[in-house]
Amino acid sequence: MPVFFKKKRAIPALAVCIASVLCAAPDADAAAVATPDYQVKLRLSDAAVDAQGKPSPQFRSYFDVLSESGSEQAVYFDTADGMLANHGWTARLRHKDDAENYDITYKYRLPLGDNSLSKSTVEDGLERARKQNFDSSDTNYDAQVNASFATSTLDFSNKKSAACVTSQCEIPSVDDAVAIVADLEPGKLKKATGTALAAADLKMSRTVNQQTWRVEVGGIKTDLEVATFGSQVWVEISEEDTSRKDAIRKRETLIAELEKAGLLEHEDAFKTGTVLASGWQQ
């Protein structure tokens, strides 16, 4: 008796795809990338200030000094072998004049390619950060694109506060400051290093004393910050904006005007590494 084989109907490829885990749709619950603001930081030469650390005659001959707008003290923390820096983190305790608390900031920093503030570069950085769980769902962190002279970074800052432990709210002793910073350590930092700060031999930097002036450079009202630590003087312009395009425009204008005045240093204005390298308090 002849055997007849019934031809099987082909299953449409789309149906196979839908049924297969290999063709699963993207996770609809995945958090969106963070929304950053922008900061431009440019380092100036020491010629921008006089012997008292105030805006110099050379600076004033090119730019308007509008007002003195505040002072602060800060210290930074790491281990002797750079445990935090090696994982892209910094930790800072700061006191601003007249404040009743200390500000403690834990910051994770990702480099951006090509020292660029282009849309594609920023979006690429935000996507890389999202894959490391720095995204819009974690409201404990503020995202900021930080553009200096030769380098641009994407920073995520976890900001906390602690009660002052001295009568005048001065920077506390090394032991007290380390205890505060270790006690408030965020989970992402502990996970990154694999070690709790309380168990690490954390060191404290020299105290950074900073004075800020409101100035106008090329039509941009911005901050002139003068910091001293040890024998080092660090002068920079710091400007913030919520718009990427405005940050690009301001950066270009500030660089051009400071260059014209002969005051621009052709290096980045990220001072944390320099502060830490200047020595530890005992």
Mean per-residue pLDDT, 153-159? 98
Handedness of CA 169, 170, 175, 181 (dihedral sign): positive
Section 86-109 average pLDDT? 98
Q: What integer is the mean pLDDT of 105-117?
A: 93
Q: pLDDT at position 29, please?
A: 63
Residue pLDDT, tens place only, 54-70: 999 999 999 999 999 89
Mean pLDDT of 227-237: 97
Structural domain boundaries in the chain: 33-277
DSSP state of 126: H
H helical segments located in 22-173:
57-62, 83-86, 119-130
What tens digit of pLDDT does each residue of 3-22 get? 444 444 444 544 444 444 44
Q: How confident is the model at residue 141 (pLDDT cuts 50, 70, 90)?
A: very high
Residue 277 has a CB neighbour count (10 Å cut-off) of: 10
pLDDT band at 27 (very low <50, low <70, confident <90, very high): low
To which H or E segment does residue 222 belong?
A: strand 220-229
Q: Is residue 156 within 8 Å of 125, Cβ to Cβ?
A: no
* pLDDT value for 115: 80
Q: What's the Cα-to-Cα distance from 110 to each of 157, 188, 229, rounded to whole Å?
A: 12, 14, 26
100-104, 113-117, 192-196, 211-215, range with the lowest pLDDT = 113-117
Confidence (pLDDT) at 263: 99
Q: Are 71 and 89 in contact (CB under 8 A)?
A: no
Task: Say how many residues make up the chain.
Answer: 282
User: Is 33-277 CATH 2.40.320.10?
Assistant: yes
Q: Does pTM surpass 0.85?
A: yes
Interval 243-255: pLDDT, tens: 999 999 999 999 9
Six-digit token string for 52: 């008292």
